[in-house]
A and B are shown apart, each in its own frame.
Chain A
Amino acid sequence: MILPYFVLLPLLAAFLIALLAGKKDDWAIALSFMATLSILALSVFGFITMREQTFTYAMSGWNIPIGICLVQDALSLFMLFMISLIALTSLCFSVQYIRHLAQDWKYYALFMLLLTGMNGVVVTGDLFNLYVFMEIALIAAFALVAYGCRAEEYEASFKYAIMGGFSSSVILIAIALTYSSTSTLTLAGIAQALPGLDQRLVMWIAALFLVGFGLKAAAIPFHTWLPDAHSSAPAPISSMLSGVLIKALGIYVLIRLFYNVFNAPPLFMNLLLIIGSVSIMLGVFLAIGQWDLKRLLAYHSISQIGYILLGLGLATPLGILGAVFHLFNHAIFKSLLFYGAGAVEMVLGTRNLKKMGKLAHLLPITAGTNMVASLSISGIPPFNGFFSKLILIIAAIQAGHPVYAFWAILGSLLTLASFMKVQRYGFYGEVEHQKPNIMPGKLIHAAMLILAVICLLSSLFIVPGIREHTLDPVVDVINNKIHYIELVYGRAL
């Protein structure tokens, strides 16, 4: 059974780093690479061999409903694969970048805790356990945001902690309400018990969850923590936060709860549509006016999350497919964009687009991969973002929501405009630069090139023969809604 290792390996790595690394960070780097690589291998192995089945693992042999169970299905394996892929490239990027800031093993220990938390959220089948893992990930994230130890970073981290704490308490209230009315904390058990409850109460619980996890996903109007936190964190952490954290803690949990537990209630699906399209539009409008590159990217995360929520709100198989595909694609290109911003910040010491200027010849690989990522996020063929947005638009029109399709394309147009701004000022601008003291090394280039290639290759996920083995099982898990109960209990009800 591979399931517990997704949590155990990074947790072990975190403790070992703290115990062994001492003053040097070589050990820390080696240990974290080992842990991340093995999780990546496990998730790929798991996805290839077991994608269509659902497995549960009872912790310490205590069965449901007494013990905590871990659940593995295509959705969780897909998330795990995405998390470990981004974590791996982020580690590659971190080695030079973090040494450039300070030589420190603590960073890697926190990174492993972050990974532990996210993996835990994804694999657990228990609501309170999910809460605990979420807090682990969040506390690691608060610390990592403040890692640079500058005033603005502390401020960002503090705001993040306050707002994160606020939403966590909303979630805790919702969990308490759930437990008091269903007497169980296993997700499948809750799903089973919900239809028998007062529906008004169920709606309120759902609303509290939507607020709580909507904040983790940074959907508007719960988005205000994100721009500060994501732009202040060190670049590899920004890419972890924007690329996967908001999805593992926010979107993934929303999918699990609203599809597999609450059985996709139409009212909330409509709410997701509205929140999604508002996030698309306001996010992109906020982004286009920014001159701080990382802040611009952070606001785009809000907008792109909007696309995912829009797809989920459509609640048709095609909409879910688009959402899941966009979830993956966004992780790839947004991380890549943050690496580009990080590389430029490392070399020039600025995030201000106006001061960046002529970089295409100075940093050809950074400029090239940044171009790929910019075209991907703007939805330009042949990159992955084009296909996921296309699916979302088709899905919206087929579901009879042309208005939402219109918001989606308008958002796409503005996204293109704002990334043209990034290209124009950031990489093809007028400011000339001397040869800098520090240049991005091989590992940084490797991280960027891997993701740039994936930006192109993951377009293939949509090819019919490949889709059936990659995205379709994930969509099935979501679209089966509370069929999840039977799959978890492993018997017909």
Chain B
Amino acid sequence: MEPSALLTFLFLPAAVAVINLFLPVRAAKALTLLTLLYLLYCAITLWPSASLGSSSVYLGVDRLAAFVLLFAQILSTVILLFSLKGVRRDIERFFFVLFPLTVAFCNGVLLSRHALLFLIFWGLSGVSLYLFALLGKDAEASAAAKKTFIIIGGSDVFLILGLVLLIGSRPVDLWWLDKLNLRPEAPLYWLAFVSLLIASLAKAGGFPLHTWVPDFSKSSPIESVALLPASLDKLLGIFLLARMMTSLFVVGLTVKMIVVSIGAFTIISAVMMALSQHNGRRMLGYHAVSQVGYMIMGVGSGNPLAFAGGLFHMINHTIYKSNLFLSLGSVEKQTGSSEFDDLGGLAKSMPLTFIMALVGALAISGIPPFNGFFSKWMIYQGLLETAKTLPVGYQLWMLICLILAIFGSALTLASFVKFLHAVFLGRNPGTHKVREAPINQWLATGILAILCAIFGLFAVALPLKKLIVPVMVDLGMPEAMQFIGFFHPLLLLGLFAVVFGLGILLYFLVRTVRYDDVYLGGQPADPRFRITGSDFYREVREMPVLNKIFAAADKKYCDVYEMGSKGTFAFSGWLQKLHPGLLPLYILYIFLGLLILGLVINIGG
């Protein structure tokens, strides 16, 4: 692969962003769409020839990068298709400048071989996230933007520290990121590993640095939510984690287990929070966190099968989660709200959007034949295989993580029952006049829904064999193939179909369904007593132990950001007490400084 061809991925979208500043909005949309389609074509042609062999010092692309690059282009093209109609008028111009710029930065991260370039693009992609957050309309948008960028920008400094520790001893012109394999005996191995882990967790939205995701999802333009936290940031964060686990560090068993535990904890804590939300965006935001847990578990475990499953789950998640966000976006644009209380009964008026969202909801809940099922399955099986080879204590540890993950999956299904009911099912007289979303929007969600189905039905033939196996071979883990030989999605599907068929049979055998009007105390039901869905699972919040945890979560005790800012302001307040504006005190400080210097000199000199 010619390095100059890689430059297209950076300079073309960046140039388009600059041109869009001056074009009429309509032309800017067309130009951006054409550019992204061209980049998609480039990414497809790049895939077969991706190798580090002939790359330059600065840019290079291996299988993993080419794989992620491909999906970054697919997702951004589809999301752009959605954005062609419906972006708020007052931000439209800036939106279509920022969009291609974001794509350029993301491509930059993926193609950088030089650590410095990687750092710069990583930071820039955080800046574009911040600028998108500032475009939000509601009252919390500015606070969400602040929180997002403090976490994302703050984790960038740890990335700097980590990378410099990793390769800082070499001269700056040799700062390649491939095949470093830092060994645990190396000095400051831990600091470097933790720093990079912080960066990747913050970007992907893993515990405990996930708290920006729900806030950003709540307030920012929905297109940007689908683009960044749901798609590109997941790709980048997990891409970095995959690099860490394969080529940057040699990772021991305990570290792997810690990473897996972080994943399991992310799954369960975020899905519990998701259950109790009553805003669609926030709920999907928490799920965007929860799903990252699976990827972290898969990629972090180091088992080839689970690793492949983690990568597969990463792309599956970007597909179904952006589908869900965009469907919710369609709903929000048609009804003006994303609060569960205001929605309901939209399946009739927005049937296409409903079908797309349904597919997304089934995929994220791990229902076959959709893609989410297969990637989760691979991760579970990989982790089980790993558990077999572990010492007893570790075995137990791994099993606990696994159980948490499976339980999390069940809770995901539960919370999407709530989502579907609250938004599309149930009754809401207020939403009868709502119209179906414009064609570009359901086309975009439709493409994603079809991808969900294809990546499920033909999981082995298409994504696994054509994309993920080559990546795994390139990463030096060809063993993942063995499992895939035994893996028959159609067989599994058949089993599920039989069970499903039995269920339907049972329904028809014993059905006693009566359709009736709803009454309350003999009177026609007041719309106030409508079952909106926002109170589903409220009892979860009242369970004995969980109520304490939820109460703590409501007080933001689990939020690193909130706790950090509290501590910071407390210390700051204490320091300010030492600066009361009293001149004699200040002179005393100077004297003290002089005294200490004198002491140091007498001892040291």
Residues on A close to B: CB < 8 A? 159, 162-163, 166-167, 170, 199-200, 203-204, 207-208, 210-211, 214-215, 221-222, 224-225, 227-228, 267, 271, 282, 285-286, 288-289, 360, 375, 378-382, 386, 389-390, 393-394, 397-398, 402, 405-406, 409-410, 412-414, 416-417, 420-421, 423-424, 428-430
Contact = CB atoms under 8 A, between A and B. Distances in A.
The A interface is mostly helix, strand or loop, or mixed, namely: helix
A285 B126 contact: no
A394 B587 contact: no
Contact of A380 (B126, B134, B576, B590): B126
Contacts of A414: 568
B18 interface: no
Given A159-B583, A286-B579, A405-B161, A267 B604 contact: yes
The B interface is mostly helix, strand or loop, or mixed, namely: helix
Contact of B572 (A207, A289, A409, A420): A289
B487 interface: no
B180 interface: no
A285 B575 contact: yes
B124 interface: yes
Contacts of B161: 393, 405-406, 409
Interface stretch (B138-146, B349-357, B419-427): B138-146
Given A210-B597, A224-B589, 5 more contacts: A380-B153, A394-B168, A402-B191, A424-B142, A430-B142
Interface residues on B, range: 35 or more
Contacts of A159: 581, 583, 586
| Across the A-B interface, the 9 shortest Cβ-Cβ residue pairs | A289-B572, A224-B586, A428-B142, A381-B123, A424-B146, A409-B157, A203-B605, A221-B593, A420-B146
Interface in B570-605: 571-573, 575-576, 579, 581, 583, 586-587, 589-590, 592-594, 597-598, 600-601, 604-605
Contacts of A215: 590
A267 B601 CA distance: 8
A225 B169 contact: no
A420 B126 CA distance: 13
B39 to A, nearest CB: 22
A78 to B, nearest CB: 22
A393 B161 CA distance: 7
Nearest to A398: B168
B132 interface: no
Interface in B292-349: none
A386 B123 CA distance: 10
A405 B164 contact: yes
Nearest to A210: B597
B120 interface: yes
Interface string B9-52: 00000000000000000000000000000000000000000000
Contacts of B141: 428
Given A221-B589, A412-B157, A285 B572 contact: yes
Interface string B173-200: 0000000000000001001000000000
A159 B172 CA distance: 46
Given A199-B605, A204-B601, A409-B158, A417 B565 contact: yes
B591 to A, nearest CB: 9
A378 B145 contact: no
Nearest to A378: B153
Given A203-B605, A289-B573, A375-B127, A163 B590 contact: yes
B146 A207 contact: no
A285 B578 CA distance: 12
Contacts of B569: 288-289
B576 A289 contact: yes
Contacts of A199: 605
A225 B160 CA distance: 34
Contacts of A288: 568-569, 572
B417 interface: no
B160 A207 contact: no
A184 to B, nearest CB: 23
Nearest to A386: B123
12 contacts: A159-B581, A163-B587, A170-B594, A204-B601, A267-B601, A288-B568, A289-B575, A397-B165, A416-B149, A423-B145, A424-B145, A428-B141
Contacts of A207: 594, 597-598, 601
A394 B165 CA distance: 8
